[in-house]
Amino acid sequence: MRISEIMTKKVESITEDCSAAEAWHFMRAHRFHHLVVKRGAAVVGVISERDLGGRNGRAVREGKSIGDLMTPFALTADPRTPVVSAARLLRGRSLGCLPVMRRDKLLGIVTLTDLLDLVGKRASAGTKPKAPPRRTKRSKARRR
């Protein structure tokens, strides 16, 4: 399965010079947890609800801009990226999303929630990962 099959195509963005408080209120009002940060048409980073102080906005300080608090990203995904590869990119990092891009154009976003939803759907459908083939005496003999 590819990222393009689970990504959110309608991505909300914000500019670096926007205030942290304004971004936090926008995210709360629209129930977003991540916004892509743009400089003109170029994507330069990601800001998360966590970056802004979580649900209470405790870290939102007067005078702070998105540019001060955002995570400049170096990680993106191509729409053809396998879901497993995207999960590995996010694993062990404090990132909650990957912008999906092709040739410097933002096409969508994939979040940890998207990946967990996919795992949940597969689990409830009874889909199990394929087990590696069992080795038999005959297969061992053929390799010699």
SS (H, E, C) 28-47: HHHCCCEEEEEECCEEEEEE
What residue spans define the domains of the chain? 3-115
Domain 3-115: assigned CATH number: 3.10.580.10
Q: What is the pLDDT of residue 82?
A: 94
- What angle (nearest 5°) sits at the alpha carbon of residue 91, between those of residues 88 and 97? 90
- Least Cα distance to 34 among 100, 132, 130 occurs for 100
Question: Contact, 108 vs 32, CB < 8 A?
Answer: no
Tens-digit pLDDT profile for the chain (144 aa)?
999 999 999 999 999 999 998 999 899 899 989 999 999 889 999 999 888 887 776 656 667 899 999 988 778 899 999 999 999 888 877 788 999 999 989 999 999 889 988 888 877 776 555 555 665 555 455 555
